[in-house]
Amino acid sequence: MLESTLVLIKPDAVRRGLIGQITARLEARGLLVRGVRSFVFTDEMLRANYAHLADRPFFPELAAYMKAGMTVALWVSGVDAVTVLRRTIGDTNARTAAPGTIRGDFSTSTQRNLIHASDSPEAALVELARFFPDGPTVPEDPAIVAQLYSTNEL
């Protein structure tokens, strides 16, 4: 079974018209998008997703930013998907994110950094259950997986 992780295309990315470009990069990498949802963050969802930051001085502005528009959630699967996604999105501070990463190519902000990806396999399980309570829309397709990986990687 492939590893799965939660990706959020945040409201700044949606407003800037980057849903397609961001998703295309993940697809081109060979990651499998197995579920897509869109919604506007509620306070309850924010408290759950950003509990680790609730005491930080920037939390009120972070909350306002995340509630300001539509978010797109993706269920993304691949071998070592959590690590691959974290490296693909780049540093939290987009000013130090490496060129070639999504943040490094499309943002220069620490807050308005366009995209979220779960930071550990444990967090991914919790976050996927939060945003996709019914699981992914489609199962893994063995034919596609066989195109993407050798058998000894699986």
Which residues are known catalytic residues?
116
**Token digits for 109?**
């902000």
Contact track, ligand UDP, 53-82, x by CB under 6 A = x----x---x--------------------
3 or 119: whose CB is closer to Mg ion?
A: 119
Give DSSP secondary structure letters for 26-65: HHHHT-EEEEEEEEE--HHHHHHHTGGGTTSTTHHHHHHH
Task: Give the residue with the Cβ less far from Mg ion, 105 or 119.
Answer: 119
Q: Give the dihedral of Cα atoms 97, 65, 33, 129; nearest 10 deg.
A: 110
Interface map 11-50 toward ligand UDP (x if CB under 6 A): ----------------------------------------
125 binds, among Mg ion, ligand UDP, none (CB under 5 to 8 A by kind): none
- Residue 34, token pair as written in the block: 């197995």
Please check whether residue 115 is in contact with residue 10, taking contact to mean a CB–CB distance below 8 angstroms: yes
**Minimum CB distance to Mg ion smaller for 14 or for 82:** 82
Binding region for ligand UDP (CB under 6 A): 53, 58, 62, 92, 110-111, 113, 116, 119
